[in-house]
């Protein structure tokens, strides 16, 4: 359906309270859902110890959840376009919390794949696309900065969840720890979701920054594309491929870095702190590079991000000391945070907002989701064969180089 070009009544600038309640609520949901999700690497060792599964098979549970997340992300994006984020996040918060509660009771491999792969995967399908699409709909001015602030929730969640999960497992065991995680997600996400609105037009307000003097900057004034139109462009496939490389690298590291550190003889507490540091430095990247993207563009941020990730990943291959791993996560986390902030605004800038949730959902599935699903699985398989992660990290470095080349080829869509 085309965007209404002539509003029936003047719309006011969004009230400070309204727009920042949306930002704050989105931040908190991101912190809780992704903090819990990124703690998979901490629980990984406990599952291996108790059930003696291979790393590839155990990683398969996370890989399946990413596939489900991507598939359902398309539907959740579509539902958000139509009904708004409140309903979507309420349902998804229930499913994520339920999945973690059920994870506390697993005893066989099929339960891991059902509870984590399917139930949590479906729930997480509504945690990224609906929130990113909602922020894009609320802001023209400072869109990248606001997206970066919301995505710092992922960094804060990772910073807190990794060491907390490690301590909970040490004190109470992984069964009780999963129950605590599930209950927290269930209560927080469902409660906070009630504060979200799809866009300011529901209150007869306009996007923040959409004024007469800024119309030429507004993506609403570009030619917005439908999904059918978008898939016919080379930019759609370049963006999807870029996101694939990005997801491959990020989730290979988030899943296996903790195990890699323990294999080097580093203590469990220090290994958890290393993983948490990625979250902390990603916060800096989201704010610094998010602000820079508003001035220099999202494509440039991805170029910087891929350069930094490539250098960090090839540094990780020979790194054996604790200080070397901290140097890796400092650079990698900063780059990861900046690129993640630019994902949704990049899609909005290329294809407009009329079908933003749907297009972002499809690109997220074809790109980031498949990369995040394949990367940890391949890394686990490489370790099972070679008893080392070195080759896996080299593969990640090569994927980052490919992502850099694809980003360099990306250009704006020419208006017809």
d(CA 388, CA 334) in angstroms, rounded, equals: 26
**210 located within any domain:** no
Asked whether residue 405 carries a pLDDT value surpassing 70, the answer given is yes
Q: 14: left (phi > 0), else alpha (psi -120 to 50), else beta?
A: beta
**279 located within any domain:** yes
Asked whether residue 262 carries a pLDDT value surpassing 80, the answer given is yes
**Please, are residues 227 and 362 in contact by the beta-carbon 8 Å criterion?**
yes
Asked whether residue 12 carries a pLDDT value surpassing 60, the answer given is no
> Mean pLDDT over residues 308-313, rounded?
96
> Mean pLDDT over residues 217-228, rounded?
62
Of the given ranges (214-223, 250-259, 314-323, 402-411), which has the lowest mean pLDDT? Answer: 214-223
Residues 141-177 as b/e (b if ≥16 CB within 10 A, e otherwise) read ebbbbbbbbbbbbbbbbbbbbbbbbbebbeeeebeeb
**211 located within any domain:** no
**7 located within any domain:** no
pLDDT of residue 72: 81
pLDDT of residue 402: 97
**206 located within any domain:** no
d(CA 342, CA 348) in angstroms, rounded, equals: 10
**Please, are residues 332 and 312 in contact by the beta-carbon 8 Å criterion?**
yes
Asked whether residue 241 carries a pLDDT value surpassing 90, the answer given is yes
- Between the alpha carbon of residue 187 and those of residues 5, 166, 209, the distances in Å are 40, 22, 34
pLDDT of residue 276: 86
**Please, are residues 36 and 89 in contact by the beta-carbon 8 Å criterion?**
no
d(CA 349, CA 51) in angstroms, rounded, equals: 47
d(CA 203, CA 319) in angstroms, rounded, equals: 54
d(CA 130, CA 391) in angstroms, rounded, equals: 36
**207 located within any domain:** no
d(CA 365, CA 344) in angstroms, rounded, equals: 13
Q: What is the pLDDT of residues 172-205, one digit of tens each?
A: 999 999 999 999 999 999 999 998 876 555 544 4
Residue range(s) defining the domain that contains residue 236: 16-198+216-409
Residue 382, SS3 per DSSP: helix
pLDDT of residue 29: 94
d(CA 290, CA 312) in angstroms, rounded, equals: 20
Higher pLDDT, 281 or 10: 281
pLDDT of residue 227: 85
Asked whether residue 99 carries a pLDDT value surpassing 90, the answer given is yes
> Mean pLDDT over residues 368-385, rounded?
91
Asked whether residue 240 carries a pLDDT value surpassing 60, the answer given is yes
Residue 300 sits in a domain whose CATH number is 1.20.1250.20
**9 located within any domain:** no
Closest of 15, 308, 310, 336 to residue 151, by C-alpha: 336
The pair of structure tokens assigned to 309 is: 């990730």
162 Cβ neighbours under 8 A, 6+ residues apart: 38, 39, 41, 42, 258, 272, 273, 275, 276, 279
- Between the alpha carbon of residue 58 and those of residues 16, 64, 376, the distances in Å are 46, 10, 10
Give me the chain's average pLDDT, please.
84
Domain count of the fold of the chain? 1
Asked whether residue 219 carries a pLDDT value surpassing 50, the answer given is no
pLDDT of residue 313: 96
pLDDT of residue 1: 41
Asked whether residue 136 carries a pLDDT value surpassing 60, the answer given is yes
Of the given ranges (196-200, 257-261, 274-278, 302-306), which has the lowest mean pLDDT? Answer: 196-200
**3 located within any domain:** no
Q: 0.85 exceeded by the pTM?
A: no
Asked whether residue 215 carries a pLDDT value surpassing 60, the answer given is no
Q: 265: left (phi > 0), else alpha (psi -120 to 50), else beta?
A: left
- Between the alpha carbon of residue 24 and those of residues 148, 338, 399, the distances in Å are 12, 19, 34
């Amino acid at each position: 359906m085309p965007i209404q070009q002539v509003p029936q009544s003047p719309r006011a600038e969004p009230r400070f309270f309204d727009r920042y309640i949306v930002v704050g609520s989105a931040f908190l949901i991101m912190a809780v859902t992704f903090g819990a999700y990124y703690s998979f690497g901490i629980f990984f060792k406990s599952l291996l110890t108790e059930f003696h599964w291979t790393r590839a098979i155990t990683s398969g549970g996370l890989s399946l959840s990413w596939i489900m997340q991507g598939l359902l992300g398309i539907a959740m994006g579509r539902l958000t376009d139509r009904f708004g984020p409140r309903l979507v996040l309420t349902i998804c918060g229930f499913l994520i919390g339920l999945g973690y509660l059920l994870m506390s009771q697993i005893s066989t491999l099929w339960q891991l794949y059902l509870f984590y792969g399917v139930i949590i995967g479906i729930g997480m399908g509504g945690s990224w696309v609906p929130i990113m699409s909602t922020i894009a709909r609320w802001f023209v001015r400072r869109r990248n900065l606001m997206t970066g602030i919301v995505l710092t929730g992922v960094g804060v969640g990772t910073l807190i969840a990794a060491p907390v999960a490690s301590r909970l497992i040490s004190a109470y065991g992984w069964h009780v720890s999963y129950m605590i995680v599930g209950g927290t997600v269930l209560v927080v996400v469902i409660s906070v979701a009630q504060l979200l609105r799809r866009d300011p037009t529901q209150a007869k307000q306009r996007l923040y920054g959409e004024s007469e003097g800024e119309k030429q900057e507004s993506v609403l004034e570009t030619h917005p594309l439908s999904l059918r139109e978008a898939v016919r462009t080379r930019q759609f496939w370049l963006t999807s491929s870029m996101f694939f490389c990005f997801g491959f690298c990020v989730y290979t590291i988030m899943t296996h870095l903790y195990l890699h550190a323990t294999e080097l003889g580093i203590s469990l507490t220090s290994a958890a702190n290393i993983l948490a540091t990625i979250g902390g430095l990603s916060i800096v990247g989201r704010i610094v590079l998010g602000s820079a993207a508003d001035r220099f563009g999202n494509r440039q941020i991805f170029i910087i991000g891929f350069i930094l990730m490539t250098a960090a990943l090839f540094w990780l291959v020979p790194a054996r000391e604790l200080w070397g791993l901290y140097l890796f996560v400092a650079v990698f986390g900063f780059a990861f945070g900046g690129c993640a902030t630019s994902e949704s605004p990049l899609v909005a800038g290329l294809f407009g907002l009329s079908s933003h949730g749907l297009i972002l959902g499809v690109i997220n599935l074809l790109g980031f989701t498949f990369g995040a699903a394949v990367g940890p699985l391949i890394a686990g398989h490489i370790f099972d064969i070679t008893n080392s992660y070195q080759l896996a990290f080299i593969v990640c470095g090569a994927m980052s180089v490919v992502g850099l080349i694809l980003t360099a080829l990306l250009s704006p869509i020419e208006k017809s």
